[in-house]
Every structure is written in C-alpha cells, then in structure tokens.
Amino acid sequence: MVYWEVTEPTNPIVFEYGSSKEEQDLELITAIMREIHSSPAADFVRTDDIQRCRYCVYRTYCNRLPETAALEDYLSDTYLALEDELELLNTD
C-alpha cells in the first residue's frame, strides 16, 4: 500500500502488507472479538451521564436511547468538546 500526500508528492510512504500479516491481523481481531463476546455484561460499566450516550454508536445495546448517533452528532461542537474531555481523562 502506498500513501501519497499532496504536499509531499515526491515522498510517498510505502506500507508492506502481505497475506501473512493479514492472517496475523485476522487472528488478533478474532481473538479480541471472542474475548469481548465471552466477557460478562458486568465488565461493561454504563456511564451515569446520559448526555454522553447521545454520541455513542453503541447506545442501543444499553437501551439508553432508541437510535444510533447520526454523523452530524459526531461533527458537532458538543461532541468534539466531549472527545477532548475524554482524552484529558485518559491517562494511559
């Protein structure tokens, strides 16, 4: 795969990716999916702040709001502010 940036037309970035790497990635993703699927519901703590649910694509799984967030929600200033706040809280 070649990544070409308009501002750097003479410096493309080449990513080596073949079938063996694809198989490794598929195994990793499959393992993660199995782990998530086998985790008890108690491992997934719901937020007490319902406003955060407004922007969550998984909110229908929690039965918090009836529909998933629209693209416009993600582009809103409110969502972007929440995203910035969450990044500040993430100390990993």
pLDDT in tens, 23-55: 999 999 999 999 999 999 888 888 888 777 777
Q: Which two tokens stand for residue 79?
A: 């969502």
- Tell me which of 5-14, 16-25, 49-58 is least confident: 49-58
Task: Specify the 3-state DSSP secondary structure of 13.
Answer: strand
Q: How far is the C-alpha of 87 from the C-alpha of 92, rounded, in Å?
A: 10
Q: Which residue has the tokens 């582009």?
A: 75
- pTM tops 0.85: no
Q: How far is the C-alpha of 69 from the C-alpha of 55, rounded, in Å?
A: 5
What mean pLDDT comes out for the span 61-73? 67
| pLDDT of res. 42 | 83
Q: Is the pLDDT of residue 91 over 60?
A: no
